[in-house]
């Protein structure tokens, strides 16, 4: 078994040659100790060592080859930033290396490795299953990954969670499964919405309002990442722009009266928007040319960066407009997490998951959802916003970087709002 460890470490197509070294050397020492105390025959022990030695070269060559492919793609990407108009018009070497990669590095180095469960316990008290009784949350994309984990935590502490999903049957089955596995003191509703179709937003909001519930938490969680080819939404917008930003912009606008009503009653009201470190990919964006993105200029990575920058611009403008209402608005970077987000992703997203440069900073889903849970539940959030925070990761306030950061292109907060309003006007 010890001899097979290196092979297992490099299995599944994942390049983990560092794991080979870290696992195999102590494995060899354990084999020696075991041989001495268990009285193994010399031939048996020699066979196990030989098996380990046989695995090493193949595992190492395979892992090294995969890393070389990933490295070549990174270099190719840097070249495209310099010479390809589709990327160079929206991404620069500085925004890619210093802002984007720099933020990922800071996030990885400073990560507290907290889970959403640990954050909730800190905010609400361990076992306090009625802490959120009477509160209501809408979570988009709550039938999987981060959204499902976020919804699970809220249900566990007594919140009524509205699952805003494209597949109600799938969400209903997931809810039943969660209730079978652990006690959930909260209740739930499942309402259909397709964020790739702006015409589905108003019917969703009308269905929610008919429930007669308050709205304490609006969690704009759903998103897609770097499709290989241009794909149009039902209204013809580039699908990342439509799903990640425009649909959530419309949803937030239509629900704002309910959020204000809830806040006026004395209850908490918050908006949590999932942005990303990808927001730092954008350099000084020409809004008139890039929003909405045109099919002939499509680059999946650039469009993802723009959509995530839109999320941050949206959050900042919401903070300004909601300041007198007492509604807290947060933009969140969850981290580098293996979710369904990359199932259609291009090679740029693969780099984040297969390159040893980034693999060490990967988070599990429960860790990735921790920051959005923090922004939903922590009593510290209002004061953090008062001190100028608009961006959170690693379960705390952070400095935003890139074109959407405060002090860079503050004028674009208002411009994003005006453009977005004009695009969704007929769907109100």
Question: Positive or negative, the Cα torsion across 309, 314, 317, 318?
Answer: negative
Tokens representing residue 349 in the block: 């997203």
Q: What order do you get walking across the sheet with 328-332 strand by strand?
A: 188-192, 160-165, 136-140, 217-220, 270-274, 328-332, 391-393, 396-398
Looking from the CA of 427 toward its CB, the CA atoms found within 13 Å total 26
Contact 137, 161 (CB under 8 A): yes
Judge residue 180's burial from the number of C-beta atoms within 10 Å of its C-beta, 0-12 exposed, 13-18 middle, 19 or more buried: exposed
135: left (phi over 0), alpha (psi -120 to 50) or beta: beta
Separation CA 222–CA 27 (nearest Å)? 43
Q: Which helix (H) or strand (E) holds 165?
A: strand 160-165
Closest listed residue to residue 162, CA positions, set 192, 188, 143, 144? 188
Angle in degrees, CA 186, 191, 195, rounded to 5:
125
The one catalytic residue among 96, 157, 298, 353: 298
What's the CA dihedral at 353, 358, 361, 362 to 10 degrees?
0
Looking from the CA of 206 toward its CB, the CA atoms found within 13 Å total 7
Contacts of 171 (CB under 8 A, 6+ apart): 142, 143, 163, 165, 190
Question: Quick check: is 298 catalytic?
Answer: yes
CB atoms within 10 A of CB 44: 11
Closest listed residue to residue 232, CA positions, set 293, 301, 141? 293
Closest listed residue to residue 405, CA positions, set 419, 388, 421? 388
- The residues annotated as belonging to the active site are 298
């Amino acid at each position: 078994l010890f001899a097979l460890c290196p092979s297992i470490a490099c299995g599944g197509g994942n390049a983990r040659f560092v794991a080979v070294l870290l696992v195999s050397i102590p494995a060899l020492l354990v084999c020696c100790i075991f041989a001495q105390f268990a009285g193994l025959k010399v031939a048996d022990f020699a066979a196990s060592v030989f098996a380990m030695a046989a695995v090493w070269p193949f595992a190492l060559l395979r892992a090294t080859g995969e890393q070389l492919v990933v490295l070549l793609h990174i270099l190719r990407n840097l070249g495209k930033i310099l010479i390809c108009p589709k990327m160079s018009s929206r991404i620069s070497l500085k925004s890619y290396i210093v802002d984007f990669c720099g933020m990922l590095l800071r996030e990885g180095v400073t990560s507290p490795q907290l889970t959403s469960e640990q954050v909730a316990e800190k905010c609400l008290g361990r076992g306090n299953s009625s802490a959120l009784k009477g509160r209501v949350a809408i979570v988009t994309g709550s039938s999987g990954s981060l959204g499902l984990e976020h919804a699970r935590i809220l249900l566990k502490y007594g919140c009524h969670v509205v699952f805003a999903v494209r597949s109600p049957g799938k969400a209903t089955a997931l809810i039943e499964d969660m209730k079978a596995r652990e006690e959930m003191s909260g209740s739930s509703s499942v309402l259909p919405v397709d964020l790739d179709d702006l015409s589905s937003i108003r019917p969703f909001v009308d269905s929610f309002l008919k429930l007669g519930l308050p709205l304490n938490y609006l969690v704009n969680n759903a998103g897609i990442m770097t499709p290989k080819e241009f794909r149009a939404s039902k209204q013809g917008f580039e699908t990342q722009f439509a799903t990640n930003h425009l649909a959530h912009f419309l949803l937030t606008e239509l629900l704002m009266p309910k959020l204000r009503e809830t806040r006026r009653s004395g209850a908490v009201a918050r908006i949590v928007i999932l942005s990303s470190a990808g927001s730092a990919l954008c350099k000084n964006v020409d809004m008139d040319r890039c929003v909405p993105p045109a099919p002939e200029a499509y680059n999946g990575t650039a469009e993802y960066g723009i959509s995530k920058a839109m999320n941050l611009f949206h959050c900042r403008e919401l903070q300004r407009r909601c300041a007198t209402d007492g509604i807290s608005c947060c933009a969140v970077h969850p981290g580098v997490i293996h979710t369904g987000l990359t199932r259609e992703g291009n090679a740029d997203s693969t780099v984040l998951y297969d390159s040893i440069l980034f693999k060490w900073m990967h988070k599990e889903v429960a860790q990735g959802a921790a920051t959005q849970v923090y922004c939903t539940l922590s009593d510290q959030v209002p004061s953090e916003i008062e001190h100028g925070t608009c961006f959170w990761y690693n379960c705390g306030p952070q400095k935003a970087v890139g074109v959407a950061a405060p002090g860079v292109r503050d004028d674009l907060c208002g411009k994003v709002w005006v453009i977005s309003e004009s695009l969704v006007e007929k769907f109100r």
